[in-house]
Amino acid sequence: MTVTRRVFIGFGAVSLLAACDSALVGNGVGSNGSAEIDARVDATRDYLFTHYPGTKALSQQAKGILYMPLITEVGFGVGGAYGRGALRINDVTVDYYAAARASIGFQIGAQQYAHALFFMTEDALANFRRGNGWAAGADIRYATPDQGGSIGKDTTELDPVIGFIFGQQGLIAGATVSGVKYSRIIP
């Protein structure tokens, strides 16, 4: 088998994601892992509600919220991202999830960010929880921080899942094709 530059870069990206996964899981071995995730989720929720007041009202209408406190993304042609978080129903953690993202295209850089998925219908929440892994697709609407103060009832009546990305740090540039998969984990 000849090793092309694309195969080499792809293998490097997969290795990077595996290393990130091992490092993150290694920091949360045993019962301490869930406590660490919950502490980060609490801080993320508090930050979100303080800095984007419209999200507090949105949370009161949501059937469940998946908080992902820290997603780390790296890209150089081929890229990837990984993070862990918790699904809360009535502000009580019911499950823990990992988010993994792979991308390919013209891209370079690294960034970290947080996001929250607001499940606005029982069906959307049930589909997420029942799946063996859930990929964000066309059934999700993303809101931006400048909309965070004005997300209202009209939004929640139309969209079964609303994703809110915030707290970006770093710089990544380019155009990519990607997908995010959420999988249940046991920290």
How many structural domains comprise the chain? 1
* Distance between CA atoms of residues 120 and 123, nearest Å: 9
**What is the per-residue pLDDT across 81-114, written as a single tens digit (0 to 9) for each?**
999 999 999 999 999 999 998 888 887 888 888 9
Task: Tell me: pLDDT of 154 over 60.
Answer: no
Beta bridge partners of 132: none
Domain ranges, residue 174: 5-185
* Distance between CA atoms of residues 49 and 57, nearest Å: 9
* Distance between CA atoms of residues 1 and 76, nearest Å: 24
Which pTM value belongs to this model? 0.74
Which amino acid belongs to residue 178?
S
Task: Tell me: pLDDT of 177 over 80.
Answer: no
Contact criterion met (CB below 8 Å) for 23 and 82 = no
